[in-house]
Amino acid sequence: MSRATVALTGVGLHTGAPVSVTLRAWDGPTILRVRGLAARLDELAIASTARATTVAAHDGLIRLSTVEHAFAALAGLGLHAGVEIEVDGPEMPLLDGGAAAWCSALAELDARPSLPRLRVAVNATVAVQASRYEFSIGEGIDLEACVDFDDRRIAPVARWTGDAQDFRERIAPARTFALARDVAELERLTLARHVDPRAVVLIAPEAVYCSGGFSADEPARHKLLDWMGDLYLHGGPPMGRVRAVRPGHTANALAMAHALSAGICVREEARDAHPPGAPPSR
């Protein structure tokens, strides 16, 4: 049975801060509400891409980090409108380390899927340092993420072609991962505190440490998941084919900024979505 409101609680991956999130279905565009202030998705700016994606609006009065997993769930389920996200905390909760818990919560809402606003308009390749994004015109959604960790235990490719059920079953469960060589730096910066070990995969030279099973393509699937969350900020994932080689939050942001300014990707009016409106008053 569909519901109008769903609540979640957890702690942030990087801050360790407790956070509560309320998801609401409503007739209007995607809304983020923090400390009583609301901003539409198209009003959010990327404020930081250091280890996660942080968004801000209203001259910094709204600021929220690690939004990519929740946004990936919205993208994977095709919820490009009709959802309000109210957050009490500085960072989205880690939950299960991927997007499965977000998908389960969103599936309870009375929200209707729609097509993305973003589409690939020109065949082109965008290079951002060691990362590369190949854009091709197409009728459907087709994303491919390619990773390169120089590790034979890790499969290099993950792909998603727009099916919501496939996202829920295969992409959403892919957990956050860390390389052993990065752990000391995370500890020095006092990041990744209070992390549930079930939500994280640690890849060390001698073994892969995690709770439950590990699939060789899980890191690539999580990179794809993160990338989908970053694309959602721009109205995507786009209609068309995009192949990302070594995607990362900073490269994702720079590549999309160039793709939009150069007309490689264009935004259209919302299609098959709830009509736009003002955020609900409280």
Question: Quick one: tokens of 145?
Answer: 């993420």
Instruction: Kindly tell me the number of DSSP H helices and DSSP E strands found in the chain.
Output: 6, 18
Task: Encode 167-192: b = buried (16+ Cβ within 10 Å), e = exposed.
Answer: bbebbbbbbbbbeeeeeeebeeeebb
Task: Encode 233-268: b = buried (16+ Cβ within 10 Å), e = exposed.
Answer: bbbbbbbbbbbbbbbbbbbbbbbbebbeeeebbeee
Active-site annotation holder among 14, 234, 249, 274: 249
Closest CA to 172 of 229, 246, 115, 249: 229
Which residues lie across from 118 on neighbouring strands?
267
Helix (H, G, I), strand (E, B) or coil at 183: helix
Give the H/E segment covering residue 81.
strand 81-88
Q: Rounded to whole angstroms, how far apart are CA atoms 105 and 162?
A: 20
Task: Encode 110-124: b = buried (16+ Cβ within 10 Å), e = exposed.
Answer: ebeebbbbbbbbeeb
Q: Which amino acid is at 178?
A: A
Phi, psi of 113, rounded to the nearest 5 degrees: -65, 155
Q: Rounded to whole angstroms, how far apart are CA atoms 282 and 157?
A: 45
Q: Mark whether 274 is an active-site residue.
A: no
Report CA torsion sign: 101, 66, 178, 130.
Answer: positive
Residue numbers annotated as active site: 249
